[in-house]
A and B are shown apart, each in its own frame.
Chain A
């Protein structure tokens, strides 16, 4: 058994108890609402309550994990004699990864015998979670720290990330999306299908008419891009729309004979930018 720890952050949208099961450590991002200053960590707000709050008009502001936070968490592990493989939230969307990188640089000086490798997954939500999951499996197969890191660096460009949002207003408000204004003209009845590119940015790819069509479009992307449609690891995350996700999972079973490995909530930090009604699909493809 290798003596290294896989570490991530709460933007991976994998529930704490599952991460614990996988033996993965994490630090939470945090958020507060406009109307009060209380800082909540991503893992302590119940998603359903959070989205209801958003629907009623509350605006949440999110904060990255800072380097101090990483330093104290990493240091603890280093002291215990562990090396660290950090798999972090896309640098295209947050400074969390950069904080981890700074923390690692600092700690390498104090702990020259220990190894810390940081990987920018260029992914978010359960896409980041899927990279963590597959790396955990790799470690279970006996991969060394370096091998596991190399694996993560490679696999991150093969995790295909597709999602749809119910209302683009959240992504636009958070400045997390850029596209020509003509693309977004009159969005009445239009649902965008979005993609996360190789730089970890969000891009609007297609406009489709109606929610149902946009959800089906996700399944279609799977059919087009998955390396193996019958044997794949599919993660889905959603922002308070379990029924629709259940239907989407049925499409995978009926159309491709594949079972969705994990369905999880889009946590409040990601949800604050994507908005209620977001459905995101992650699977292994030839490329993103």
Chain B
């Protein structure tokens, strides 16, 4: 990656054409403003408070508007100022670049286990932003940025996805009411982005995507002067971002030990690099394939299992994003309840929720045309997807799940028609006090959670992080005063928190369960029906504090970590994100990990989640070992049937 980053950065710097641009339209007042900006704090104040500054801005905008047509003719890009059209083009470039490199980012996994997903999470996050602006042709920078970042907020998955969405949300805040922006204005907006990205993390860690964003923005802003253009700004940004990514192992020892750079930082670099490439004239195909269209294209080349004589048995999975229109209705007063009633009269598996003036709709129906007809009374479609479920039914379950990760906020559990959720999908009737949403991975864990009274299960896990939008769709199925989310994965907590903030129909509390062990223990021990939210949060914290979770996983590369030598193919044991055991023998590694957990202070209980890959023999063998080696321990087995990890241990 280093190689590639270097090339790009240099490329960005060298690409000419700047000079010509720079010479154009030197508005003197504009220049004055830039000069003032040498003291950014002061400039900021001035910008906000004085009429003079406002005037300056208006002039700048006017200048831009005037120059815009000229530009178009010349087929060039205004680099003194950036507007909405250019931004959306750059954003598509960013998404494309990340898409190209997502796998590589996935592989930047600290652990030599097959669960890296940062690249995919960030890709899905930005694609959700791209989908949101897909059909916008506004040249208003603030509008495009707002819609783009809002789409990202909804689609955010994984910690890096959430951070990057917050970064752009901050930028959007910084660009509020700015139809265009020059390098300085954009630079300040970038600073806002960094601020918001840091604020989104409870305890910011340096040597991560945060550092990469901050250092690059600090550097790029420090270099802004009166000659700066959007292009120089992004060239500086890209260059420093690359350097900063390369420095992450110097800050975070775990990266150094694993011989990787920070994956989130690298992902952000690819996005910004993509932005930069557009500025340097690299073409972004107008019709960038988003994942859903890619899927459709793939589908076209395969043979349909639905022929001329087939019977229509499953109906159509119909999804659409409806843009409510002022000309047709009052978007603020749009009645989602009535829409749901209508959808209920023609189909099932209904999801419908409104975010600002956009309504997300999902329904299984035999008459999709009626959905379209109904919806058009209120607005126009941003996207429409209609799939014959008889075709879907004949495709593999795993494949279906994999490919259904459309870039728009798609609640995975509700959208996968072949995965029956053990929790009733029916619309909730009576309002309850406390409801529970839990992220689960594996049919065994699903069943356990519904047994423990979880109202809605969101499918997901280490390699398949649900988005904030997935959580919102889950909330929509609940009628309760309070909703408690159990993310059950350290990398999902932020997306859950983001959804909690976006949701208004109930008070949403995130129980920060970092793994399935913590989530299970809290869910099983807390009496949700009688306790108040504060007590539930307190008890959850108390009970989760006592849990240590260990994972048994196959190793997929050689490594030396934490003083443990790992050979590709070994079985490794992980406790608290540290590899503590590695052994060529599966049984030996499993025994060692279990014993380590039970030897910790005050640990007397072990719950074993056996995975999809754990055989009955493996279980029996482990059970016999524990009975002999730890006769005093209370041991419980649960058929979790989770992926990747043959065993997960929760020691208490």
Binding site for B on A (CB under 8 A): 180, 182-183, 185-186, 188-190, 206-213
Contact A189 B529 (CB under 8 A): no
Give Cα A206–Cα B604 distance, bound, in whole angstroms.
Answer: 20
Contact A189 B634 (CB under 8 A): yes
The residues of A that contact B638 with a CB separation of less than 8 Å are 188
Contact A189 B452 (CB under 8 A): no
The residues of B that contact A212 with a CB separation of less than 8 Å are 604-605, 634
The residues of A that contact B528 with a CB separation of less than 8 Å are 182
Q: Which of chain B's residues 515-535 have a Cβ closer than 8 Å to chain A?
A: 521, 524-529
Flag whether B383 is at the interface (Cβ < 8 A).
no
Contact B543 A209 (CB under 8 A): yes
- Given A186-B448, A207-B525; 5 other pairs, CB 8 A cutoff: A186-B452, A190-B524, A190-B525, A211-B634, A212-B604
CB within 8 A of A189: which of B526, B527, B546, B636?
B636
Q: Which 5 A-B pairs have the closest CB atoms?
A: A210-B605, A186-B451, A189-B636, A212-B604, A209-B525
Binding site for A on B (CB under 8 A): 448, 451-453, 521, 524-529, 543, 546, 604-605, 607, 634, 636, 638, 652
**Given A209-B525, A210-B652, does the pair A182, B604 have CB atoms closer than 8 Å?**
no
Contact B527 A209 (CB under 8 A): no
Task: Determine which residue in B525, B526, B607 has the highest number of CB atoms from chain A within 10 A of its CB, and name it.
Answer: B525
The residues of B that contact A182 with a CB separation of less than 8 Å are 453, 528-529
Contact A185 B452 (CB under 8 A): yes
Task: Determine which residue in B521, B524, B604, B638 has the highest number of CB atoms from chain A within 10 A of its CB, and name it.
Answer: B524
Give Cα A189–Cα B604 distance, bound, in whole angstroms.
Answer: 11
Q: Which residue from chain A places its CB closest to the CB of B638 in the assembled complex? A: A188
Contact A183 B452 (CB under 8 A): no
Contact A209 B529 (CB under 8 A): no
Give Cα A210–Cα B543 distance, bound, in whole angstroms.
Answer: 11
Contact A189 B448 (CB under 8 A): no
Q: Say how far B152's CB is from chain A's closest CB, in angstroms.
A: 38
**Given A189-B607, A210-B634, A212-B605, does the pair A183, B525 have CB atoms closer than 8 Å?**
no
Contact A188 B636 (CB under 8 A): yes
Q: Which residue from chain A places its CB closest to the CB of B605 in the assembled complex? A: A210
**Given A180-B529, A185-B451, A185-B452, does the pair A207, B524 have CB atoms closer than 8 Å?**
yes
The residues of A that contact B521 with a CB separation of less than 8 Å are 209
Contact B652 A209 (CB under 8 A): yes
The residues of A that contact B607 with a CB separation of less than 8 Å are 188-189
The residues of B that contact A213 with a CB separation of less than 8 Å are 652
Give Cα A190–Cα B448 distance, bound, in whole angstroms.
Answer: 14
Q: Say how far A212's CB is from chain B's closest CB, in angstroms.
A: 5
Q: Say how far B422's CB is from chain A's closest CB, in angstroms.
A: 13
Give Cα A251–Cα B451 distance, bound, in whole angstroms.
Answer: 35
Q: Which residue from chain B places its CB closest to the CB of A190 in the assembled complex? A: B524
Q: Say how far A251's CB is from chain B's closest CB, in angstroms.
A: 14
Q: Say how far B635's CB is from chain A's closest CB, in angstroms.
A: 9
The residues of B that contact A207 with a CB separation of less than 8 Å are 524-527
Q: Which residue from chain B places its CB closest to the CB of A211 in the assembled complex? A: B634
Give Cα A207–Cα B522 distance, bound, in whole angstroms.
Answer: 11
Task: Determine which residue in A180, A183, A209, A211 has the highest number of CB atoms from chain B within 10 A of its CB, and name it.
Answer: A209
Q: Say how far B111's CB is from chain A's closest CB, in angstroms.
A: 28
Contact A183 B527 (CB under 8 A): yes
Q: Say how far A12's CB is from chain B's closest CB, in angstroms.
A: 32
Give Cα A269–Cα B521 distance, bound, in whole angstroms.
Answer: 34
Q: Say how far A206's CB is from chain B's closest CB, in angstroms.
A: 8
Give Cα A271–Cα B521 distance, bound, in whole angstroms.
Answer: 29
Give Cα A212–Cα B525 distance, bound, in whole angstroms.
Answer: 14
Q: Say how far B603's CB is from chain A's closest CB, in angstroms.
A: 10
Supply 19 A–B pairs (Cβ within 8 Å), ascending by A: A182-B528, A182-B529, A183-B527, A185-B451, A185-B453, A186-B448, A186-B451, A186-B452, A186-B524, A188-B607, A189-B524, A189-B634, A206-B527, A207-B524, A208-B525, A209-B524, A209-B546, A210-B605, A210-B652
Q: Say how far B522's CB is from chain A's closest CB, in angstroms.
A: 9
The residues of A that contact B529 with a CB separation of less than 8 Å are 180, 182-183
Give Cα A188–Cα B521 distance, bound, in whole angstroms.
Answer: 10
The residues of A that contact B604 with a CB separation of less than 8 Å are 210, 212
Give Cα A210–Cα B638 distance, bound, in whole angstroms.
Answer: 15
**Given A182-B453, A182-B529, does the pair A209, B605 have CB atoms closer than 8 Å?**
yes
Give Cα A183–Cα B528 distance, bound, in whole angstroms.
Answer: 8
Give Cα A190–Cα B636 distance, bound, in whole angstroms.
Answer: 10
Q: Say how far B623's CB is from chain A's closest CB, in angstroms.
A: 15
The residues of B that contact A209 with a CB separation of less than 8 Å are 521, 524-525, 543, 546, 605, 652
The residues of B that contact A185 with a CB separation of less than 8 Å are 451-453, 524
The residues of A that contact B526 with a CB separation of less than 8 Å are 207
Give Cα A211–Cα B583 distance, bound, in whole angstroms.
Answer: 33
The residues of A that contact B453 with a CB separation of less than 8 Å are 182, 185
Give Cα A207–Cα B536 distance, bound, in whole angstroms.
Answer: 13
Q: Which residue from chain B places its CB closest to the CB of A188 in the assembled complex? A: B636
Q: Say how far A16's CB is from chain B's closest CB, in angstroms.
A: 35
Give Cα A186–Cα B543 distance, bound, in whole angstroms.
Answer: 17
Give Cα A175–Cα B373 distance, bound, in whole angstroms.
Answer: 58
The residues of A that contact B543 with a CB separation of less than 8 Å are 209
The residues of A that contact B451 with a CB separation of less than 8 Å are 185-186
Task: Determine which residue in B526, B528, B546, B634 has the highest number of CB atoms from chain A within 10 A of its CB, and name it.
Answer: B634
Give Cα A183–Cα B453 distance, bound, in whole angstroms.
Answer: 9
Q: Say how far B393's CB is from chain A's closest CB, in angstroms.
A: 32
Q: Say how far B480's CB is from chain A's closest CB, in angstroms.
A: 14
The residues of A that contact B652 with a CB separation of less than 8 Å are 209-210, 213
Q: Say how far B303's CB is from chain A's closest CB, in angstroms.
A: 45
Q: Which residue from chain A places its CB closest to the CB of B524 in the assembled complex? A: A190
Give Cα A213–Cα B452 distance, bound, in whole angstroms.
Answer: 20
Give Cα A211–Cα B652 distance, bound, in whole angstroms.
Answer: 11
Give Cα A245–Cα B448 distance, bound, in whole angstroms.
Answer: 32
Q: Say how far B513's CB is from chain A's closest CB, in angstroms.
A: 14
Q: Say how far B456's CB is from chain A's closest CB, in angstroms.
A: 16
Q: Say how far B409's CB is from chain A's closest CB, in angstroms.
A: 31
The residues of A that contact B524 with a CB separation of less than 8 Å are 185-186, 188-190, 207, 209
The residues of B that contact A211 with a CB separation of less than 8 Å are 634
Q: Say how far B515's CB is from chain A's closest CB, in angstroms.
A: 16
Give Cα A188–Cα B448 distance, bound, in whole angstroms.
Answer: 10
Q: Which residue from chain B places its CB closest to the CB of A212 in the assembled complex? A: B604
Give Cα A210–Cα B652 distance, bound, in whole angstroms.
Answer: 8
Q: Say how far B588's CB is from chain A's closest CB, in angstroms.
A: 26
Q: Which residue from chain A places its CB closest to the CB of B529 in the assembled complex? A: A182
Q: Say how far A157's CB is from chain B's closest CB, in angstroms.
A: 24
Give Cα A33–Cα B451 distance, bound, in whole angstroms.
Answer: 34
Q: Say how far A195's CB is from chain B's closest CB, in angstroms.
A: 14
Task: Determine which residue in A183, A207, A210 has the highest number of CB atoms from chain B within 10 A of its CB, and name it.
Answer: A210
Give Cα A210–Cα B636 distance, bound, in whole angstroms.
Answer: 10
Q: Which residue from chain A places its CB closest to the CB of B521 in the assembled complex? A: A209
Q: Say how far B448's CB is from chain A's closest CB, in angstroms.
A: 6
Task: Determine which residue in B453, B521, B527, B543 has the highest number of CB atoms from chain A within 10 A of its CB, and name it.
Answer: B527
Q: Which residue from chain A places its CB closest to the CB of B602 in the assembled complex? A: A212
Q: Say how far B510's CB is from chain A's closest CB, in angstroms.
A: 21
Q: Say how far B356's CB is from chain A's closest CB, in angstroms.
A: 37
Give Cα A209–Cα B606 distance, bound, in whole angstroms.
Answer: 11
Q: Say how far B451's CB is from chain A's closest CB, in angstroms.
A: 4
The residues of B that contact A183 with a CB separation of less than 8 Å are 527, 529
The residues of A that contact B636 with a CB separation of less than 8 Å are 188-189
Give Cα A180–Cα B524 distance, bound, in whole angstroms.
Answer: 15
Q: Which residue from chain A places its CB closest to the CB of B607 in the assembled complex? A: A189
The residues of A that contact B448 with a CB separation of less than 8 Å are 186
Q: Which residue from chain B places its CB closest to the CB of A191 in the assembled complex? A: B634
Give Cα A9–Cα B337 distance, bound, in whole angstroms.
Answer: 63
Q: Say how far A51's CB is from chain B's closest CB, in angstroms.
A: 19
Q: Say how far A20's CB is from chain B's closest CB, in angstroms.
A: 39
Give Cα A130–Cα B634 distance, bound, in whole angstroms.
Answer: 32
Q: Say how far A164's CB is from chain B's closest CB, in angstroms.
A: 13
